[in-house]
């Protein structure tokens, strides 16, 4: 029986022995939700970076660039980290280089895995279906906030575990995530409105992104990282 586990913070990834496993990286607010939105709106591929300088340097290779730090768009980049900015015909066929506070760092820290997929509520059931077909051992890697676990990524881990009862839980983090999801599933948006990150985003005037990122199955696509590029599976 294949196993499933939840890593609550990228800082803990070294404990998970990722070789041979499928890792699903999740940053509900908002990095992985933006990646799914961008590819669904015709972006050819996305390259994730964990630092601003390398990401900015991709402009010279014809990439559009996106950068977020502490919720804000970084000056000099084409985009920040709002999914709505990628619902734009101008991104069709384009390549994007992206760096965010936690999400892209979590992707980089997952690089020892056999395969890396991108998860969000927006492509929830496509992710579950892909996991089912691979039958690999799976780790759901939560991007968290500066190393500290967060509720929104853990919630996503919980719903994925609920959708995959045939996978054997590898640690009690699965039980924690599933219990959290069961407590929140009647009103997930109301639940995450209580989180510190939503409060942080609200202080920046960001509200619409939150409700959108909590919508399920808007884009039935699976994204995988192939040779460093995030693209449709
Ligand atoms: O940390 C990240 O990767 C971002 O998704 C955070 S924010 O929602 O853009 O503030």
Q: Locate the ligand 1 atom nearest the alpha carbon of residue 103 and give its number.
A: 3
102 CA to centre of ligand 1 in angstroms: 6
Q: Name the residue of 103, 109, 192 to mutate for ligand 1: max ligand atoms within 8 A of Cβ.
A: 103
pLDDT score of 91: 96
Specify the CATH number for the domain of residue 78: 3.90.1560.10
Protein residue whose Cα sits closest to atom 9 of ligand 1: 71
- Rounded to whole angstroms, the Cα distance separating 231 from 233 reads 6
Buried b (16+ CB within 10 A) or exposed e, 152-161: bbbbbbbbbb
Cα 58 from chain centre? 22
Question: Which phi and psi (to 5°) does residue 42 adopt?
Answer: 100, 0
Ligand 1 binding residues, C-beta < 6 A: 27, 29-31, 68, 71, 81, 100-103, 143
pLDDT score of 135: 85
* Alpha-carbon distance values, 209 to 7, 48, 61, 198 (Å): 25, 21, 30, 10
Q: Residue 68 half-sphere exposure, CB side, CA atoms within 13 Å? A: 24
Q: Locate the ligand 1 atom nearest the alpha carbon of residue 204 and give its number.
A: 10
* Residue 146 and residue 103 in contact, taking contact as beta carbons nearer than 8 Å: no
Tokens 């808007």 map to which residue? 218
Whether the per-residue pLDDT at 227 is higher than 90: the answer is yes
pLDDT score of 144: 98
Q: What is the dihedral of CA 172, 30, 119, 149, to 10 degrees?
A: -10
Q: State which residues form the domain around 113.
A: 3-232
Each residue of 49-81: pLDDT tens digit?
Answer: 999 999 999 999 999 999 999 999 999 999 999
The chain-wide mean pLDDT, for the chain, equals 97
144 CA to centre of ligand 1 in angstroms: 9
168 CA to centre of ligand 1 in angstroms: 30
Residue 217 CB neighbour total at 10 angstroms: 13
pLDDT score of 203: 97
- Our count of domains for the chain comes to 1
> What is the mean predicted confidence (pLDDT) over 33-37?
98
Q: Which helix (H) or strand (E) holds 231?
A: strand 229-232
Whether the per-residue pLDDT at 42 is higher than 90: the answer is yes
Whether the per-residue pLDDT at 27 is higher than 90: the answer is yes
34 CA to centre of ligand 1 in angstroms: 10
Each residue of 141-192: pLDDT tens digit?
Answer: 999 999 999 999 999 999 999 999 999 999 999 999 999 999 999 999 999 9
Q: Locate the ligand 1 atom nearest the alpha carbon of residue 30 and give its number.
A: 5
Each residue of 110-150: pLDDT tens digit?
Answer: 999 999 999 999 999 999 999 999 989 999 999 999 999 99
- Rounded to whole angstroms, the Cα distance separating 142 from 229 reads 20
pLDDT score of 8: 98
* Residue 122 and residue 27 in contact, taking contact as beta carbons nearer than 8 Å: no
- For helices 151-163 and 173-184, the axis angle rounded to 10 degrees is 100
Each residue of 79-116: pLDDT tens digit?
Answer: 999 999 999 999 999 999 999 999 999 999 999 999 99
């Amino acid at each position: 029986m294949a196993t499933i586990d939840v890593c609550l913070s990228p800082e803990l990834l070294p404990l998970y022995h990722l070789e041979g496993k499928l890792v699903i990286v999740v940053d509900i607010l908002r990095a992985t939700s933006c990646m799914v939105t961008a590819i669904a709106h015709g972006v050819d591929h996305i390259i994730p970076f964990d630092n601003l300088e390398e990401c900015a340097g991709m402009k010279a290779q014809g990439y559009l660039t996106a950068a977020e730090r502490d919720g804000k768009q970084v000056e000099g980049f084409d985009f920040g980290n709002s999914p709505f900015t990628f619902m734009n015909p101008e991104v069709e066929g384009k390549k994007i280089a992206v760096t965010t506070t936690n999400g892209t760092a979590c992707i980089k820290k997952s690089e020892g895995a056999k395969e890396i997929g991108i998860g969000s509520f927006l492509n929830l059931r496509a992710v579950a279906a892909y996991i089912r077909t691979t039958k690999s051992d799976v780790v759901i890697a939560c991007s968290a906030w500066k190393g500290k676990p967060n509720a929104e990524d853990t919630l996503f881990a919980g719903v994925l575990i609920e959708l995959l009862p045939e996978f054997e839980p590898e640690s009690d983090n699965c039980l924690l995530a599933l219990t959290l999801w069961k407590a929140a599933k009647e009103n997930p948006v109301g639940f995450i409105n209580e989180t510190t990150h939503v409060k942080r985003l609200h202080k920046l005037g960001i509200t619409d992104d939150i409700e959108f990122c909590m919508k399920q199955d808007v884009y039935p696509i699976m994204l995988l990282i192939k040779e460093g590029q995030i693209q449709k599976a």
